[in-house]
Amino acid sequence: MQREPQFISIFDTTLRDGEQSPGCTMQPREKLRFAHQLAALKVDVIEAGFPVSSLDDFAGVQMVAREVRGPVIAALCRSLPVDIDRAWEAIREAQHPRIHTFLATSDIHMKFKLQKNRSQVLVMAREAVRRAKGHTDDVEFSAEDATRSDLDFLCEVVAVALEEGATVINIPDTVGYTVPEEYKEILQTLRRKVPALERAILSVHCHNDLGLGVANSLAAVEAGARQIECTINGIGERAGNASLEEVVMALRVRRERLGFDTRVATPEIYRTSQLLSNITGVAVQPNKAVVGKNAFAHEAGIHQHGVMASPTTYEIMTPESVGVKTSSLVLGKHSGRHALDQRFRELGFELEPEKLAQAYLLFTRLADQKKEIFDEDLVALVNDGLSDGADAYQLRAVQATAGTHSVATALVILFDGEKEITETASGDGPVNAVFEAINRITGFQGELLDFHLASVTGGADALGEVFLRVRFPEGTFSGKAASTDIVGSSAQAYLKAVNKVIQRVRSAEPIVNA
């Protein structure tokens, strides 16, 4: 007889822990756009940010709280009155607000980071949860670096948080140090020694420093955890967090074995992963489980033959179950606006008339350069090409020359909202010359950390997609853009990073990370 699965709550922290990974900073409107997609994905909780960390983050969390309906909206705060009040201020208009307060409990963190002893930390935990409960009933308490904490002390802190009414207790593996069996033992001991824990939701939050984030999260479920904190594409501090798509698909595919499932709308997974990559400009590694380009690609002849006979030979889940389309409809020069609109809708994009007009213009330009336009091209066009009017500079034109025996030169024309500005520069190559010209116009001097190019589809006329990361004195920002001309996509991607740093400078805020 089949067991009825129980549901694990999926707490998505892409907009908070994920956003803390280098180059993944998001602007408030980008956070809002992504949060809407998380709601479509049907996650249970969206951790929208860390409001005290910057004005931008506060604004992003507040927008999400005001506009996104369905999931619980959580805001992170240290166990300090000013943080807690600021978090509440940001989420008070949410349909279901949650304050998430955290405090380190390991000896290492207490000594070197907090410079507090155990009794002081116990008092802080009590006061933090009490203060948060003064604002809202739904309060999550996290014992930071729990897996390296003295277990008896961890039990004491958790008991105090529960006495004050915490509704969710999170036991993070902050530095990705634990292993599955050990993590289970920690959670089992906590449940045994702190009986009040049965009245709260036990949550886990696993980092991936040893590549065990997902394995530890699944082990935790066996030990009684009912909330898993994770991120899309596994982004997060250092090696990242447990990846949402892996956790969710492991629970779905192995539901009978594990006895648990989630409410996640899995066909939305791929789109969510792509949207994140487009917003942050950080590419998904090709062999990434579930959402990587190769996740459903079969290279070896024997495998291809097997899959043709029956996909079940080498596929444990269907591409469709996670929203990966295997056949990509082709549009071309003669496709009209209606066909384009229809295809966008099928791909999950509901474009307002103004955006559709913009998209159609880009589409016709692309169709002049490229005979067949695939779904992947359309997605790149929407994600990279549509301007929301908030950027400080827009690219009007770029022209570059290069050759084996000549110095590369570039001419760039940018629009600053009022006028067009033209600059020329030379460089080591055409791309470098273009970046230099952009630096001259904008006055921002970035250092290129990463640059890579991939083709969106096959074929000699494929769109070339550029991903890059640039370090400015104000922080590291990434950019991504696609065009049939790789110098053009490099210019667009670089300008995106520059526009991000300009927005950060305009909001002129120091950043505090959790």
Q: How far is CA 204 from CA 8, 305, 397, 514, in A?
A: 11, 41, 49, 17
Which of 172, 234, 323, 488 binds ligand KIV (CB under 6 A)? It is 172
Indicate the length of the chain as a whole number. 514
Q: Is 140 in the site for ligand KIV (CB under 6 A)?
A: no
| Amino acid at site 117 | N
Is 204 or 373 the residue whose CB approaches Zn ion more closely?
204
- Point out which span in 119-127, 170-178, 330-338, 413-421 binds ligand KIV (CB under 6 A): 170-178
Is residue 30 a contact point for Zn ion (CB under 5 A)? no
**Which one of 205, 370, 469, 504 is in contact with ligand KIV (CB under 6 A)?**
205
By CB under 5 A, is residue 229 in contact with Zn ion?
Answer: no
> How many other C-beta atoms can be found within 10 angstroms of the C-beta atom of residue 199?
10
Residue 478 CA, distance from chain mean position = 13
We find the least distance from the C-beta atom of residue 246 to Zn ion, in angstroms, to be: 16
List 8, 9, 14, 17, residue binding ligand KIV (CB under 6 A): 17
- Smallest gap from Cβ 9 to ligand KIV, in A, equals 15
Q: Indicate whether 144 belongs to the interface with ligand KIV (CB under 6 A).
A: yes
Burial (CB < 10 A; 0-12, 13-18, 19+), residue 38, is buried
Residue whose token pair is 């024997």: 302
As measured in angstroms, the least distance from the Cβ of 85 to ligand KIV is 18
Question: Cα separations (Å) of 230 from 199, 227, 239?
Answer: 23, 10, 13
| Cβ closest to ligand KIV, residue 150 vs residue 388 | 150
Of the chain, the end-to-end C-alpha distance in Å amounts to: 46
CB 98, CB 133: distance < 8 Å? no
Residue 142, binding choice from ligand KIV, Zn ion, none, Cβ under 5 to 8 Å by partner class? ligand KIV
Q: Which residue is nearest to Zn ion (CB)?
A: 17
CB of 351 within 8 A of CB of 382? yes
The stretch among 167-175, 185-193, 326-334, 451-459 that binds ligand KIV (CB under 6 A) is 167-175
Site size toward Zn ion, by CB under 5 A: 1
How far apart, in whole angstroms, are the C-alpha atoms of residue 182 and residue 204? 14
Pick from 8, 9, 11, 17 the residue near Zn ion by CB under 5 A. 17
Q: List the one residue out of 143, 144, 173, 149 whose CA is nearest residue 161.
A: 143
List % helix, strand, coil for the chain (3-state, nearest 5).
45, 20, 30
Question: Which range of residues in 25-33, 118-126, 166-174, 409-417 is near ligand KIV by CB under 6 A?
Answer: 166-174
Question: Which string of x and - marks every residue 326-365 that binds ligand KIV (by CB under 6 A)?
Answer: ----------------------------------------
Q: Which is nearer to ligand KIV, 466 or 514 (CB)?
A: 514
Report whether 479 contacts 446 (CB < 8 A): no
Which of 11, 34, 58, 102 binds ligand KIV (CB under 6 A)? It is 102
Beta-strand pair 406-415/420-427: antiparallel
| 56 near ligand KIV, judged by CB under 6 A | no
CB of 50 to Zn ion, least distance (A): 11
Other Cβ atoms closer than 10 A to 223: 20
Q: Which residues bind ligand KIV (CB under 6 A)?
A: 17, 102, 142, 144, 170, 172, 174, 205, 207, 514
Residues found near Zn ion in the complex (CB under 5 A)? 17
